[in-house]
Structure 1
Amino acid sequence: MPSVITKDGVEIFYKDWGPKDAPPIVFHHGWPLSSDDWDAQMLFFVQNGYRAVAHDRRGHGRSTQVSDGHDMDHYAADAFAVVEALDLRNAIHIGHSTGGGEVARYVARHGQPAGRVAKAVLVSAVPPLMLKTAANPGGLPIEIFDGFRAALAANRAQFFLDVPTGPFYGFNRPGATISQGVIENWWRQGMMGSAKAHYDGIKAFSETDQTEDLKAITVPTLVLHGEDDQIVPIDDAARLSITLLKNGTLKTYPGFSHGMLTVNAAVINPDLLAFIKA
């Protein structure tokens, strides 16, 4: 399997599809999933003439189940190891959920001004900060994330069924069209990864303040968010992020869930393509 070794010895699995001389798009997946979560986007963009690259975050998917380094700094550095190994330049970086935080940290720390990043997209992304604090009163209470940790530690397999069956794709909403395949694919991806990485990752996605990352980004950045996102509520995420970005565009989707990239790919993919081509 194609992989790179990071400076601290972690093997990071990646996919590299499409012509090597085509414009590259780098995809950064959400918690607790893998690069497989981008199937609908990677196939779409390869068919539209792009090079699609996606990696499994450390401790996730087919990458090494290492004990440490489950934080935004390491996530971004691991992504850079892939980009550097493939020598990707003027790439578009697209991140979903925790992957959106990874993109923000990556662009702020590794993408400017070296010419590595052309544009960025944050989809249902966790920045600037999910946790409720005195400075972020609209955030979610720590008890919610403590509950995630408790459920994961007690019965990860059941927890990883409950999330996609319920709020992640909005399958708990009246009249929702439920896909058992989507639920089981979410579970499959999650259970491939490390419980330790997933447990530590909850702190990474909920408690990392990325205000300064967003302020540091100068490339054109598209922020996409579902208005019925029950995992990362839009008001304290996308609607705050857009006020911090120097060159940002916000597009929201009434009724769309946190998992809209999968269940609403027919709507989201053309919007991504239009932004990339602009």
Structure 2
Amino acid sequence: MSTVTTRDGVQIFYKDWGPRNAQPIMFHHGWPLSSDDWDAQMLFFLHHGFRVVAHDRRGHGRSAQVSEGHDMDHYAADAFAVVEHLNLRNAVHIGHSTGGGEVARYVAKHGQPSGRVAKAVLVSAVPPLMLKTAANPEGLPIEVFDGFRKGVADNRAQMFLDVPTGPFYGFNRPNAKVLPGVIQNWWRQGMMGSAKAHYDGIKAFSETDQTEDLKAITVPTLVLHGDDDQIVPIADSALKAVKLLRHGTLKVYPGYSHGMLTTEAATLNADLLAFVRG
């Protein structure tokens, strides 16, 4: 397997497909999945002549199941380790859900300072802040995330069936076309990872205030969100994020779910390609 070792000694698995001299696109996956969640996008962009890269976050997929470092700072630093190892330049970074938070922190703290990032995309992403606080009264109450923690601790295998069967892909909506293979693939990806990483990661994606990250981003940034996202409500995330970005563009998809990259891949891929080439 292709891996890079981070400065704190963690082995991070990555995929690197396509011509080495082509513009790179790096994909950042969501909780609790792996780089496999980007299969439809990686093949699409590969066939359009790009170099495509994706990694498994620490504790997820095929990366090392370490005890510590399950926070946005380490997530972004690990991504930078992959970028430096592969010497990626003029890269477009695309993040889904928690991966969107990772992209925001990476671009602000590593990508822009090193001059290696060209554009960014936040898809169904968690920034600026999911948790309800005094300063963020529209956020979700802590009990929602405590429920996620309880699910991971009590019966992770069952939770990782319930989430994709229900709200993640909108399969709980009336007349939804349920795709059993998609549900099974979500479960497979989740169960490859570490329960400790998944448990700690809930705090990372829900309680990390990324307002300053978004304000610091100067590269063109596309924000994509479905208005029927039951995991990361659009009012708590995309509608706020685009106002904080200096060069942000928002596109809202009526009726699309949190997992729209999979269920609506053809539409999303076309819009991503237009942004990358634009």
Shorter-chain TM range is: over 0.9
Q: Give the deviation of 1:269 after TM superposition.
A: 0.2
**Match in the other structure for 1:61:** 61
AA partner of residue 221 (structure 1): T
Distance 2:150 2:222 in 1: 34
Which residue is 1:16 aligned to?
16
The offset of 1:151, in angstroms, is: 1.1
Structure 2 residue aligned with 1:33: 33
RMSD: 0.4
Match of 1:72 in 2: 72
Q: Distance in 1 between matches of 2:196 and 2:219?
A: 34
Pairing 1:262–2:262 present = yes
Identity of aligned residues (%): 81
Q: Which amino acid aligns with 1:5?
A: T
Kindly provide the CA deviation profile for residues 64-111 of structure 1, in whole angstroms up to 9, marking residues without a partner as x. Answer: 000000000000000000000000001000000000000000000001
* Equivalent position of 2:154 in the other structure: 154
Q: What is the rounded CA distance, in whole Å, between the counterparts of 2:99 and 2:71 in structure 1?
A: 12
Aligned mates of 1:276, 1:135 — CA distance in 2: 35
For structure 1, which runs of at least 5 residues remain unmatched after alignment?
none
Look up the SS of the partner of 2:162 in the other structure.
helix
The equivalences for 1:29-178 within 5 A come to 29-178=29-178
- Tell me the equivalent position of 1:6: 6
Whether 1:239 aligns to 2:239 is yes
Give the CA deviation at 1:200: 0.1
- 1:211-250 aligned within 5 A: 211-250=211-250
Q: 2:194 aligns to what?
A: 194
In 2: Cα distance, 1:267 partner to 1:228 partner: 16
**CA deviation map 1:131-189 (0-9, x unaligned):** 00010011000000001001110000000000000000000000000000000000000
Q: Where does the alignment leave 5 or more consecutive residues of structure 2 unmatched?
A: none
TM-score, length-normalised on structure 2?
A: 1.00
* SS of aligned partner of 1:119: strand
Aligned length: 278
Per the TM alignment, residue 113 of structure 1 is displaced from its structure 2 partner at its CA by 3.5
One-letter amino acid matched to 1:276: V
* CA–CA separation in structure 1 for the residues paired with 2:47 and 2:127: 31
Q: TM-score when scaled to structure 1?
A: 1.00
Q: Cα distance, 1:203 vs. partner?
A: 0.2
Amino acid at match of 1:229: D
Structure 1 runs (4+) deviating above 6 angstroms are none
**Shift in Å, 1:112:** 1.2
The Cα shift of 1:114 comes to 2.5
- For 2:188 and 2:151, locate their aligned partners in 1 and report how far apart those are by CA, in whole Å: 18
